[in-house]
Amino acid sequence: MTTVTKMRLSKETYTFLKNFSEINSNILIKPGNVIKTVSPQKNTYAEAKVQEEFETEISIWDLNKFLGIVSMFANPDLEFNENYVDISNGRSSVRYYYSEPELLTVPTKDFKMPPVLVSFDLDENDLNEILKASRILQVSDVQILGEDGVLKIIVNDETNDTSNSFTVIIDENYNGPDYDGMLNVSEIKFVPGSYSVSLTETVITKFSHKTQNLTYYIGTKRG
């Protein structure tokens, strides 16, 4: 007997999936209420806990196209079957067939966070300024630097000693260990908001959304 699951995607889940499509164009949604993705380069991993409880495995080759189909309808019903999903508003519908799972780039196991060295809060305004500065200055390196009692984030070009740079002080009373980590602005594909940031002794930095069940793990080059 074929299992059919009928649901509507919440606005929040749609937003998460749209964001995930910027990290990886395909996705494998497994049964449960957690969705995950990993970039093709495997340097960005993201996961979100959602309102919906998926009962079938859903393999989508082109996530942007799938979400575009969903957006054709106003709050459509989605009927998930074993091999396809019917997206319908009652009068009109689209049948979207799943991909073969082995063709997708997906997380192969649960991510294990290394021990945290230091944590800090990154305000939404500061995050927006960092991204804006990168665009205007046309530099893509984001350095997180903790030393001499100050924690700051610097946007520059690490290959150019005379690069224009932008600096925002995160904590002027920093009492944590010295830290120097670098990531690329292209990896900061986040849902808007403020984040709790966890730095580790390894090459992983964790960004946890302050108000939503959403987390990103970004590969970081240590200085």
Domain 116-222 is found in CATH 3.70.10.10: yes
- Identify whether the C-beta of residue 78 lies closer than 8 Å to the C-beta of residue 94: no
Task: State residue 223's pLDDT score.
Answer: 76
SS3 18: helix
Question: pLDDT at position 211, please?
Answer: 97
Average pLDDT, the chain: 94
Q: What are phi and psi of 85, to 5 degrees?
A: -125, 135
Task: Quick: pLDDT tens for 131-165.
Answer: 999 999 999 999 999 999 999 999 999 999 889 99
Residue 63 parent element (H or E): helix 63-71
Summarised one tens digit per residue, pLDDT across range 68-116 is: 999 999 999 999 999 999 999 989 999 999 999 999 999 987 778 899 9
Residue 154, beta-bridge partner list: 143, 167
CATH class of 5-103: alpha beta
The bridge status of strand 204-209 relative to strand 214-219 is antiparallel
3-state secondary structure 172-197: CCCCCCCEEEEEEHHHCCCCCCCEEE
Of the candidates 54, 62, 59, 8, the one whose C-alpha atom is nearest the C-alpha of residue 34 is 54
Edge to edge, the sheet with strand 195-200 lists 32-38, 44-54, 214-219, 204-209, 195-200, 116-122
Residue 1 has pLDDT above 50, yes or no: no
Nearest Cα neighbor of 46 from 219, 178, 212, 216 is 216
Q: Would you call 128 helix, strand, or coil by DSSP?
A: helix
Count other C-beta atoms under 10 Å from residue 176's C-beta. 15
Domains 5-103 and 116-222 share a fold: yes
Return the number of other C-beta atoms located less than 10 Å from residue 214's C-beta.
Answer: 24
Asked if the model's pLDDT at residue 5 lies above 90, the reply is no
For the chain, what are the domain ranges? 5-103, 116-222
